[in-house]
Amino acid sequence: MPERPARGRDVGRALSRVALAAVFVTGGSQVWRRPDGPAQAASSLLDRCRSAVPPLDRFTDRQLVRANAALHVTAAAALAVGVAPRACAAALAGSLVPTTLAAFPFWKEPPGPQRVHQQGDFLKNVALAGGLLASALTGGRPGQAPATPPPMEGTTP
């Protein structure tokens, strides 16, 4: 199979960044405008986070949820246009962990349709995190080895 021209690969990368970003821009915008429901859902997780990271005590649940929403919108917008895509993808993947744990604790639900629905949403977020991590590691270039730091001065590779 002939290799696609570089321009086609660039378009594909741009479209994949936009597709990933769209989820976070829309979701983050909704949470920014209406943070009370997500803040209530995240309350017990945020309490545990405050125990581990005492400086978080100075912020309300609503403020922390809105900060996460702001991160989602800004990092996703930058990812969509190709500004620091590795850093943006890594930030989104990292922020997806507490978001997913707070929003879709399917393990707390009794067996039934609600549990199945939450488990499906949880797994979708796991899949999003996988795509973001792949993008962070390869810079959106599938098949490319992850970035490696240059050798330290005075050493040989």
Model-wide pTM > 0.85: no
pLDDT of 135: 87
Would you say residue 9 has pLDDT above 80? no
Is it the case that residue 87 has pLDDT exceeding 90? Answer: yes
Question: CB count, 10 Å around CB of 141?
Answer: 12
* Burial (Cβ within 10 Å: 0-12, 13-18, ≥19) of residue 111: exposed
Contact between residue 78 and residue 66 where contact means Cβ atoms under 8 Å apart: no
CB atoms within 10 A of CB 24: 26
Residue 95 near residue 67, CB atoms below 8 Å: no
The Cα–Cα gap between 153 and 45 comes to 44
75, pLDDT greater than 80: yes
Average pLDDT over residues 86-113: 95
Residues 6+ apart with CB under 8 A from 62: 35, 36, 39
- 48 or 138, higher pLDDT: 48
Length of the chain: 157
State how far the alpha carbon of 12 is from the alpha carbons of 53, 83, 111, 141, in Å: 40, 16, 40, 10
CA 132 to chain centre: 7
Say which DSSP state 60 is in: -
Per-residue confidence (pLDDT) for residue 106, from 0 to 100: 95
Q: What is the pLDDT of residue 8?
A: 65
